[in-house]
Amino acid sequence: MDSKKLNDWLQLVGLAAVVASLIFVGLQIKQSDEIAMVELLDNAAFRNFELSSLRTSHADVWRKACLGEELTPSEKTIAADIYFSYLQNNWNSWVRLTATGYGPAQASYLTDGVAANLHRFSGLKKIAQSYDHWQTNLTFDSEWAPVYRDSILARLSELEQLEPNPEYDVMWCGHQ
């Protein structure tokens, strides 16, 4: 075999190696994305479980807070923890929907739910308003935080023109 044919074969083998390595890297990236999505969903499930546990173990405090009844200082702390866990879970789901491009309808469902809860439950709104950061940046450091916040506030503004409607408003606080 002359050197030209040998050179051609070596270049072909090199090209095949480059293509194979690109395919391998692409598969690794796809697998990493799938792992990240599973971890994200797993974290969301865990956060939802934590929130549910918080609400269940402090159901009496949470009900009083939602209704706007007087709370002791320790009850106020518990109610605020539950509220911010709820808001954080909602935020995480909203970002996941927004970032993955599932569309505005699903994301707006989440912000509409927060607004409806704030509208319907005076105690929940009182908790939210007692913390400046819920109205400024929701403690979430992201370029999307203003969009999220503004979506909630815009929907809340619309709902405040209406009387609370048990057929529409989310009954997240857990009373009829």
Determine the average pLDDT of the residues in 116-123: 84
C-alpha distances (whole Å) from 35 to each of 29, 32, 38, 40, 90 are 10, 5, 5, 9, 22
Across 28-37, average pLDDT: 72
* Mean pLDDT computed over 118-144: 70
Q: Are 52 and 172 in contact (CB under 8 A)?
A: no
Q: How confident is the model at residue 63 (pLDDT cuts 50, 70, 90)?
A: confident
68-103, pLDDT tens digit by residue? 899 999 998 898 888 888 888 888 888 877 777 666
- What confidence score (pLDDT) does residue 124 get? 84
Is 80 exceeded by the pLDDT of residue 140?
no
113 vs 168: CA distance, rounded Å: 10
Whether the per-residue pLDDT at 138 is higher than 80: the answer is no
170 pLDDT more than 60: no
85-113 in b/e burial notation, b at 16+ Cβ within 10 A?
Answer: bbbbbbbbbbbbbbeeeeeeeebbebbbb
Residue 73 confidence (pLDDT): 92
Total-model pTM? 0.65
Give the C-alpha separation, 169 to 175, whole Å: 12
